[in-house]
Amino acid sequence: MKIAIIGLGYVGLPLAIEFGKKYPVLGFDIDASRVAELNKGEDRTLEADLVGMQLALKGSASSGLAFSANTEDLKACNIFIVTVPTPIDQFKKPDLKPLLKASEMLGKVLKKGDIVIYESTVYPGCTEEDCVPVLAKTSGLVFNQDFYCGYSPERINPGDKVNTLTKIKKVTSGSTPAIAKQVDELYQSIITAGTHLAPSIKVAEASKAIENAQRDVNISFVNELALIFDRMDIDTQDVLAAAGTKWNFLKYQPGLVGGHCIGVDPYYLAHKAESLGYQPQVILSGRRVNDTMGMFVANKVVKLMIAKGITIKGAKALVLGVTFKENCPDIRNSKVIDIVQELNQFGLQVDVYDPHANADAVKEEYKIDLIPQIAKGYDAVVLAVSHQEFKAINYPSILNNPSVLFDTKAFIDRNLVDGRL
């Protein structure tokens, strides 16, 4: 048995390292620069256990990890695990291009008896209805006779050094009962938290889609509360603290909802529902609320500035953080950009500072130049991401008088801030 992990990002790399400790593993990525970086023992995502990676790279007689960008190397493998991104397009519809291209590539190297396991988050039915036909057409092989499929949704939490890959229970599934058992046993060999064998691939796909949709809807509820309480001039955090004294109150926090999962996956579920003639109500209403929060924050900051008599056009603002969550470098689908763009439209000069984000990646993705260090003389400062480093900032020293300090994460001493979510 030789395993190939397709895609070496936040999901694929930790998986390749863990499997590489027990089996011969090929970590494959179409980005040759990413492969070169990993071969040097470096990881820009900061997700990898670098010590574990070095051990896996050294290998043994029965195990070991190698990285490659050459598709010819895939021919020696017989289990393929696909961990490519599944984003949405500009119309908020599923963009399956990375997934289908990966399937087409694998179809060219597929042999009789091979298994393709998908980990990418998709809508229920995607593996068998969209990916399998591509594999079958490209390979000329017959599904569930010559080759087989599995689905085991990724559950990586970027930046989380406690709940890591092996400590999160894994949902598994396969295209036949025998393959499902084989897929389950494969993951059981590396996941110390155990596995849950789902009765079908569709069930496993649906389980991941609803995990993130549920969280999205819950956050949208408290975000809507923040919008309502702002009009009532009461502090949302005070209300949540009081309500949270009841044992069964769910303690979600308002904020920006971005990232590769929560801000994307509900659209996959909604897309499938719409294709079957059902128009989702709760899921999409939650998305609409969450998608407005960046604009709300920017508008609130400008209103607070006007109330203090600060001239808006040409005013200098600082946005702290650009990643989609705290203490990690992941900038995918960051909603901080909505704040920056809205403030720019009001005529403010906006600096963005983030010690965790890669400046080149931010420039390429969002056309924003990160500042290397915080300046002084700001008319407004918006804390958008609660990176630990931002606790140590002396806020009065970087602000003009008068000025506005807004906290989207209830992270700063409330006595210093003019407003917060």
Give the model's pLDDT for residue 45: 84
What residues are paired with 77 via a beta bridge?
A: none
Give the burial string for 57-85 (b: 16+ CB within 10 Å, else e): beeeeebbbbbbbeeeebeebbbbbbbbb
Locate 378 and state its tokens. 């700001």
Cα 170 vs. chain centroid, distance in angstroms? 18
Q: Rounded to whole angstroms, how far apart are CA atoms 31 and 315?
A: 41
Instruction: Identify the CA nearest to 125 among candidates 277, 6, 275.
Output: 275
Give the model's pLDDT for residue 259: 86
50 φ/ψ sector (left φ>0, alpha ψ -120 to 50, else beta): alpha
Give the model's pLDDT for residue 58: 80
Given a cut of 90, whether residue 46 has pLDDT beyond it is no
Of residues 407 and 56, the one with the higher pLDDT is 407
pTM for this model (two decimals): 0.93
pLDDT band at residue 273 using 50, 70 and 90 as cut-offs: very high
Domain map (residue ranges) of the chain: 3-207, 292-420
pLDDT digits (tens, 9 = 90+) for 375-413: 999 999 999 999 999 999 999 999 999 999 999 999 999
- What does the pLDDT average to over 314-334? 95
Calculate the average pLDDT of the chain.
95
CATH topology for the 292-420 domain:
Rossmann fold (3.40.50)
Question: Quick one: angle between helices 236-243 and 201-232, nearest 10?
Answer: 120
- What does the pLDDT average to over 69-91? 95
Q: Rounded to whole angstroms, how far apart are CA atoms 19 and 5?
A: 9
pLDDT digits (tens, 9 = 90+) for 152-195: 999 988 778 888 999 999 999 999 999 999 999 999 999 999 99
Write down how long the chain is. 421
User: Which CATH code is given to the segment(s) 3-207?
Assistant: 3.40.50.720
Asked if the domains at 3-207 and 292-420 fall in one CATH topology, the answer is yes
Residues with a catalytic annotation lie at 261
Return the DSSP state at 53.
H
Kindly tell me the number of DSSP H helices and DSSP E strands found in the chain. Answer: 15, 13
pLDDT band at residue 57 using 50, 70 and 90 as cut-offs: confident
- What does the pLDDT average to over 59-79? 91
pLDDT band at residue 324 using 50, 70 and 90 as cut-offs: very high
CA-to-CA separations, 155 to 78, 183, 227, 379, in angstroms, rounded: 24, 16, 31, 41
pLDDT band at residue 48 using 50, 70 and 90 as cut-offs: confident
